[in-house]
Amino acid sequence: MHREVVHARGHENVSAAHASTFEVTTDDYLTPAGDCILAVEAARAPADFDDAFVEAVRDADATVTLTVEADGHTVSVAGRGDPDLTYESERSMVGRTSTYVDDRTVMLDAEFAAEGFDDGLVDALAAGADATVTLTVE
């Protein structure tokens, strides 16, 4: 199993209402329109991840799991890898319930999108809590 850990923080505009994606960004701001974004000010982006992690993600049979921890709340969502994933974004990581791929995509066919994240976690993020985002692939 390969693991990548990214430190980020919540923001007052976190709403986690999006139905098909979720995102963690290096940006230090969030507008109310960004309803897929769970955390901002991520210390790392997919382009910073280890080559071995990215190679493992490119297996069509790989299971990719993203876990967000903030203020005692933890939510994990699983999806799958794909040979087309590049992990080249220097700005953000996006999990998708679809099979759409761009440089920000970190998983496809996710179990749920932003709207599926636990209310307690979302409330903590909206209060600006520090967040630890862990991606694993196996």
* Measured distance CA(136)–CA(138) in Å, rounded: 7
The fold of the 2-137 domain, in CATH, is Jelly Rolls (2.60.120)
pTM score, whole prediction:
0.97
pLDDT tens profile 87-119: 999 999 999 999 999 999 999 999 999 999 999
How would you class 104 by CB atoms within 10 Å of its CB: exposed for 0-12, middle for 13-18, buried for 19 or more?
A: buried
pLDDT tens profile 31-90: 999 999 999 999 999 999 999 999 999 999 999 999 999 999 999 999 999 999 999 999
| 73 beta partners | 70
Q: In this structure, what are the phi and psi dihedrals at residue 105, rounded to the nearest 5 degrees?
A: -70, 125
In the chain, where the domains are located: 2-137
